[in-house]
C-alpha cells in the first residue's frame, strides 16, 4: 500500500482556509488580543498586519468563534464607534493580478448590517490610488463592484433575493474575478444550513485596474457607511489557481471540522497542529469528538487508516475511529468504524472524512492527535480491472495508534519503552550512557545501560520497542553483567525499526526499464507495513534487481539513483531525498562548543588519470576524443594512473559518466574531520545552534587554519551528556548515493557486439534500406535525414541533431518469421551528445506485436 493522504495541519482539523491558497494575505484573528499597534498578524507569510481602527473605547474585540477567535466591531453603535479593519497597500498587493483574483472569508452580520441599504464588507475605495474591487451588501444581498485604472465602474452587480443574508448567521462569502475573461462570480455558503451557492456568471468589459495601490479596508466606506458584526478567516490571493468551484468545495469539505470551535471539547489551536481535549482553567473534559475536513480519497481497492497520537495507556486514549465518504461533498455515507487493522469500511468514493473520540480518566491529562494517514493500494498499470474489494496486505502488526515522542529534543531525552499497541509503558529516567549512533545512508542504533535493580528493568525485553524522540528502535540484545564490586548492570543494544525490513518476504529477481526510484522502492516495500514517502530524486535507471529483501533493495536503489534514504519509523514511510539535510547555520568553534578536533588529509589514493574497461574490453575512446581514460589535474599536475573495472557496463556513455564521477573523488585529497562537540541547542537562547545528521555546519579553528562548511555524515550523540558528542564531518561525502560499484552489475544496455554474438547472427536483415543507401525510403521519419557522405558499413548513414523539448525518430515495421530470438544490431556515432533533462532518452525502441493482438515494448538505452 502507498500513502494516499496525510492530515497533519491546522486547517485539516479546524476547516480554516489553507495558507498555501492565500498567498497575498490571510488574517485568522486567532490572537487573544491585538498587539501594541492594535494589529493582528498575517498568516500568509507576507507580513501584512491588519490594524483595528478605533479599537479602544469601542466594542471592537477578539472573541471566541467557530474557527478560533474572530474580529468583532460596531456591535453597539456603528455610526458612533466607527471601527473598521485596515491593511496598508505598499503598492505590491495587486502588482500581478494574473489570471484570477479570489478574496473572501467569513462574516456574521448583525441586523444593522443586513437591514441598511448600503453596508461595506471589503473595500479598496479608500486611501491612495484608484480602486480595483468592492464587496458590500445592498439591503442584505451581496454586491460586487469592479473598477478600471481611471476609477470608472466596469461592473456593478447585486445578487437576487435568492442570496438574501440574515443576521446572526455565519456565512462564507467570496468573490472570484477573472480579468482576462471579463467574468466574475460570488460564492456564498451558509454555515447553519450547510449549503453553498455559486452565483450566475457576472460579465464585464473594460480592463480591471492593473495598478491599484489602494489600501484594504473591511467594514467601512467614505467615513459614512459601516459594518456591524464579526469577521473571521479572511484571505486574498492574486494570480490564483482556485476557481469558484474550488471555493465551493472548500466550504463543503470543512463544514464539520471542529478543532477550532472554541465552544467545543476538542482543541486544534493551542498546541497546533496537534489536537487535544480543550482545557478550561487547566482542566480537560473527559471526552471530546473530533471531526476533520474532508479530503480526496479515490482509493483503488481497499484502504487503511493510521492515527498517530500521544496517549498514556489506561488513562488517555483515542478511540472510535470512523470514516464517512462522498462522491460530491454533499451527500455522505453513514459513519462506520474502521476495521481491527485500520481497514476503511466506508464505500469507496471521491472524498473521505474522519471522526474519532479523545478520552481521559484524569482531567489533568489529555491524549494528543498528531496526524491521520490514509493508505491505499497502488493502481495497476493500464487499470486492467475496476476498483473493488480486495484483500488487504498481511500486516505484521495492526496500524493502530503510533505514539508521540515523550521528548522533543535529543539533548537530555530518555528512552521510552512502548507496549505492543505503541503506548508509553515506561520512561527509563535512570538510563545512562545513552548513545545514538547514526550515519547518512548507514547505521542507526541505540545503546544504553540501566541498573539491574531499577524498578523499570522489568519492562526491558528483547524485541520490545524503544522510542527516542521521533524514532523507534527494537531491542536486539540485553546483557546483564555483575562487576567485581557486585554491582549488576543491564546493557541494551537496539536497532532502528527499519532494520526489520531486512527480514521481509523474499523478493524475486525483477527488471526495471528506465524506471524511477519510487517504482523500485514500491516493489521493495510491497507486502510490508512500510510505504513510499517523498522521493525528490528524479533519475531513471534500467537495471536488474537481484536482491532478496526490502532493505537491501532500498539500499541498492539509493546506490543506483543517488540521494539519501530517510526512514520515518513512527509513520512507516521511506523517503529518498536528493539531499536530506539543511544548511543549519550551526557553528563549531574551538573554546565555544568544540573540545577537540582531528583533521585528516589523505592523498594515498589520489589519481589524476583514470582508465575504464567495460564488457569484452569495451572502452569509451570513440566518444572521448580517442582517449580510453579521463583526466583531472585540479590538485596535482603529476600523472597518477589507475583503472576501473567496469566489466558490467555495456554502455560506453554510462561508463564514461561513471568514470568522471569517480575521478571527481579520486583527483583530490580525502579530507575528513572528527571532533568532540557540544550540542548547544539544548541551552536556553541557543535554539539557533540546532543541527542534525546530514546537515551542513560551519567549523572554525584559527590555530589549525580551519574555516570550512562541511556535512555531518556520522554522529555518536550522548543524550545524557550532549556536551560529549562525537561527530564525523566530510566535505566530499562518499555516501551510498555516489557509489555504483556494486549496482552496475544490474545495468543493461547496448555496447559493442562480441565475436560470440556475431557467430549466432542470422545472416538476413529484415530492415529495408538499413544503411540509408536509398535516402529515407521505407522509413517513417520525423527529424532524421540521410547523410550520403558519412557512413560506417557503407557510404551513407542516418543522422539527426537533437533539439531541446522535441522528439526525433525514424521507424520501420517488419514481419519476421517465427524464431526463438532476434538480434538488434546498430552502429552509432555521436558528437557533443548531452542530456538536457532527466527524462531525455537516446536509444532504440522495439515494439513486438503478437498474433493474439497483444504487444510489448522494450527500450534499448544508448546513452
Q: How much is the pLDDT for 412?
A: 79
Terminal C-alpha separation, the chain: 34
Q: How much is the pLDDT for 383?
A: 42
**String of b and e for 517-543 (b: at least 16 CB within 10 Å)?**
bbbbbbbbbbbbbbbbbebebeebbbb
Distance set, CA 71 to CA 17, 173, 187 (Å) = 16, 16, 21
> Quick one: the chain helix, strand, coil %, rounded to 5?
10, 40, 50
DSSP 8-state assignment for residue 383: G
C-alpha cell at 597: 578536533
**Residues 6 or more apart whose Cβ sits within 8 Å of residue 402:** 306, 307, 308, 309, 422, 570, 571
Query: Are the beta carbons of 311 and 423 closer than 8 angstroms?
Result: yes
Helix residue ranges, H only, 435-586 = 517-525, 550-561
Question: Residue 386 in 3-state DSSP?
Answer: coil
Write the secondary structure of 214-235 as one string of H (helix), E (strand) and C (coil). Answer: CCEEECEECCCEECCEEEEEEE
DSSP 8-state assignment for residue 335: P
Evaluate the CA torsion angle 11, 15, 17, 18 in order and state its sign: positive
**Residues 6 or more apart whose Cβ sits within 8 Å of residue 179:** 97, 99, 101, 207, 208
Cα 659 to chain center, whole Å? 33
Q: How much is the pLDDT for 337?
A: 94
Strand 368-377 relative to strand 416-418: parallel, antiparallel, unpaired? unpaired
680: nearest Cα among 468, 406, 411: 411
Cα 523 to Cα 340: distance, rounded to the nearest angstrom = 26
Between 550-561 and 517-525, two packed helices, what is the crossing angle to 10 degrees?
Answer: 170
- Per the DSSP assignment, residues forming a β-bridge with 816 are none
Q: How much is the pLDDT for 63?
A: 96
Q: How much is the pLDDT for 403?
A: 46
Cα 262 to chain center, whole Å? 31
Query: Are the beta carbons of 333 and 293 closer than 8 angstroms?
Result: no
- Burial (CB count within 10 angstroms: exposed 0-12, middle 13-18, buried 19+), residue 443: exposed
Cα 611 to Cα 631: distance, rounded to the nearest angstrom = 9
Can you spell out the DSSP letters for 561-586?
Answer: H-SEEEEETTTTEEEEES----EEEE
Q: How much is the pLDDT for 274?
A: 92
- Helix then strand count (H, E) for the chain reads 8, 57
**Residues 6 or more apart whose Cβ sits within 8 Å of residue 50:** 27, 39, 40, 41, 42, 85, 86, 87
Cα 223 to Cα 624: distance, rounded to the nearest angstrom = 77
Q: Which residues of the chain have pLDDT under 70?
A: 1-2, 127, 298, 300-301, 377-406, 584-599, 647-650, 671-691, 701-706, 708, 723, 728-765, 793-794, 816-821
- Burial (CB count within 10 angstroms: exposed 0-12, middle 13-18, buried 19+), residue 665: middle
Model confidence pTM above 0.85: no
Distance set, CA 125 to CA 116, 153, 157, 221 (Å) = 19, 11, 16, 7
Query: Are the beta carbons of 309 and 233 closer than 8 angstroms?
Result: no
The 10s digit of each residue's pLDDT in 520-548 is 999 999 888 899 988 988 877 777 788 88
Amino acid at each position: 500500500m502507498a500513502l494516499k493522504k496525510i492530515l497533519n495541519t491546522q486547517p485539516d482539523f479546524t476547516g480554516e482556509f489553507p495558507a498555501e491558497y492565500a498567498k497575498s494575505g490571510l488574517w485568522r484573528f486567532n490572537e487573544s488580543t491585538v498587539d501594541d499597534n492594535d494589529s493582528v498578524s498575517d498568516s500568509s507569510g507576507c507580513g501584512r498586519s491588519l490594524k483595528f481602527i478605533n479599537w479602544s473605547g469601542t466594542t471592537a474585540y477578539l472573541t471566541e468563534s467557530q474557527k478560533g477567535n474572530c474580529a468583532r466591531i460596531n456591535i453597539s453603535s456603528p455610526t458612533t464607534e466607527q471601527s473598521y479593519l485596515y491593511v496598508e497597500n505598499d503598492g505590491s498587493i495587486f502588482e500581478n493580478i494574473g489570471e484570477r483574483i479570489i478574496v473572501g472569508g467569513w462574516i456574521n452580520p448583525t441586523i444593522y448590517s443586513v437591514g441598511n441599504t448600503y453596508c461595506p464588507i471589503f473595500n479598496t475605495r479608500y486611501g491612495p490610488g484608484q480602486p480595483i474591487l468592492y464587496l458590500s451588501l445592498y439591503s442584505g444581498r451581496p454586491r460586487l463592484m469592479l473598477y478600471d485604472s481611471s476609477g470608472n465602474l466596469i461592473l456593478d452587480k447585486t445578487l437576487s433575493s435568492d442570496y438574501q443574508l440574515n443576521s446572526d448567521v455565519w456565512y462564507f462569502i467570496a468573490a472570484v474575478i477573472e480579468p482576462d475573461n471579463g467574468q466574475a462570480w460570488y460564492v456564498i455558503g451558509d454555515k447553519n444550513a450547510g449549503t453553498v451557492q455559486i452565483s450566475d456568471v457576472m460579465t464585464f468589459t473594460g480592463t480591471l485596474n492593473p495598478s491599484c495601490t489602494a489600501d484594504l479596508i473591511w467594514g467601512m466606506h467614505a467615513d459614512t457607511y459601516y459594518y456591524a458584526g464579526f469577521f473571521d478567516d479572511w484571505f486574498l490571493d492574486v494570480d490564483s489557481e482556485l476557481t469558484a468551484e474550488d471555493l465551493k468545495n472548500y466550504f463543503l469539505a470543512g463544514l464539520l471540522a471542529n478543532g477550532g470551535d472554541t465552544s467545543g471539547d476538542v482543541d486544534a489551536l493551542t498546541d497546533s497542529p496537534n489536537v487535544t481535549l480543550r482545557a478550561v482553567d487547566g482542566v480537560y473534559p473527559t471526552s471530546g469528538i473530533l471531526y476533520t475536513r474532508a479530503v480526496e480519497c479515490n482509493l483503488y481497492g481497499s484502504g487503511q487508516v493510521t492515527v498517530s497520537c500521544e496517549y498514556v495507556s489506561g488513562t488517555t486514549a483515542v478511540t472510535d475511529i470512523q470514516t464517512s465518504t462522498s462522491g460530491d461533498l454533499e451527500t455522505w455515507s453513514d459513519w462506520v468504524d474502521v476495521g481491527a487493522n485500520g481497514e476503511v469500511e466506508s464505500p469507496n468514493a471521491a472524498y473521505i472524512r474522519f471522526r474519532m473520540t479523545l478520552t481521559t480518566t484524569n482531567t489533568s491529562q489529555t491524549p494528543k492527535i498528531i496526524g491521520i494517514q490514509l493508505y491505499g493500494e497502488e493502481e495497476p498499470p493500464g487499470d486492467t480491472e475496476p476498483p473493488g474489494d480486495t484483500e488487504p496486505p498481511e500486516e505484521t502488526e495492526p496500524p493502530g495508534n503510533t505514539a508521540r515522542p515523550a521528548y522533543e529534543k535529543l539533548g537530555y531525552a530518555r528512552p521510552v519503552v512502548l507496549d505492543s499497541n505503541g503506548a508509553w509503558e515506561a520512561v527509563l529516567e535512570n538510563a545512562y550512557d545513552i548513545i545514538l549512533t547514526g550515519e547518512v545512508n548507514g547505521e542507526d542504533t541505540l545503546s544504553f545501560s540501566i541498573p539491574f535493580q531499577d524498578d523499570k528493568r522489568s519492562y526491558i525485553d528483547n524485541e520490545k520497542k524503544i522510542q527516542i524522540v521521533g524514532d523507534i528502535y527494537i531491542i536486539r540484545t540485553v546483557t546483564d553483567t555483575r562487576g567485581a564490586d557486585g554491582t549488576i548492570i543491564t546493557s541494551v543494544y537496539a536497532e532502528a525499526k527499519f532494520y526489520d525490513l531486512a527480514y521481509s518476504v523474499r523478493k524475486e529477481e525483477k527488471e526495471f526499464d528506465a524506471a524511477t526510484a519510487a517504482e523500485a522502492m514500491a516493489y521493495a516495500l510491497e507486502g510490508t507495513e512500510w510505504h513510499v514517502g517523498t522521493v525528490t530524486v528524479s533519475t531513471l535507471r534500467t537495471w536488474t534487481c537481484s536482491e532478496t529483501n526490502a532493505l537491501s533493495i532500498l539500499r541498492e536503489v539509493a546506490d543506483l539513483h543517488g540521494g539519501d534514504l530517510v526512514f520515518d519509523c513512527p509513520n512507516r514511510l521511506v523517503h529518498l531525498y536528493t539531499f536530506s539535510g539543511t544548511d543549519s547555520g550551526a557553528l563549531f568553534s574551538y573554546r565555544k562548543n568544540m573540545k577537540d578536533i582531528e583533521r585528516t588529509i589523505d592523498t594515498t589514493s589520489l589519481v589524476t588519470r583514470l582508465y575504464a574497461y567495460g564488457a569484452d574490453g569495451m572502452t569509451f575512446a570513440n566518444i572521448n576524443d580517442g582517449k580510453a581514460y579521463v583526466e583531472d589535474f585540479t590538485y596535482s599536475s603529476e600523472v597518477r594512473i589507475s583503472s576501473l573495472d567496469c566489466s558490467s557496463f555495456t554502455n560506453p556513455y554510462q561508463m564514461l559518466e561513471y568514470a568522471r564521477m569517480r575521478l571527481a573523488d579520486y583527483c583530490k585529497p580525502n579530507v575528513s574531520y572528527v571532533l568532540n562537540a557540544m550540542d548547544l541547542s539544548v541551552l536556553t537562547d541557543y535554539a539557533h545552534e540546532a543541527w542534525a545528521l546530514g546537515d551542513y555546519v560551519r567549523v572554525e579553528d584559527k590555530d589549525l587554519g580551519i574555516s570550512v562548511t562541511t556535512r555531518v555524515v556520522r554522529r555518536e550523540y550522548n543524550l545524557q551528556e550532549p556536551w560529549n558528542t562525537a561527530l564525523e564531518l566530510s566535505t566530499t561525502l562518499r555516501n551510498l548515493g555516489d557509489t555504483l560499484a556494486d549496482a552496475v552489475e544490474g545495468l543493461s544496455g547496448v555496447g559493442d557486439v562480441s565475436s560470440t554474438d556475431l557467430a549466432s547472427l542470422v545472416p538476413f536483415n529484415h530492415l529495408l534500406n538499413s544503411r540509408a543507401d536509398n535516402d529515407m525510403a521505407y522509413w517513417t521519419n520525423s527529424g532524421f535525414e540521410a547523410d550520403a557522405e558519412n557512413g560506417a558499413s557503407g557510404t551513407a548513414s542516418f543522422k539527426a541533431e537533437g533539439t531541446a523539448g522535441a522528439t526525433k525518430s525514424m521507424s520501420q515495421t517488419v514481419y519476421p518469421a517465427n524464431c526463438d530470438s532476434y538480434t538488434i544490431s546498430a552502429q552509432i556515432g555521436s558528437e557533443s551528445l548531452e542530456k538536457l533533462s532527466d527524462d531525455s532518452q537516446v536509444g532504440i525502441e522495439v515494439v513486438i506485436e503478437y498474433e493474439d493482438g497483444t504487444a510489448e515494448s522494450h527500450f534499448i538505452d544508448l546513452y
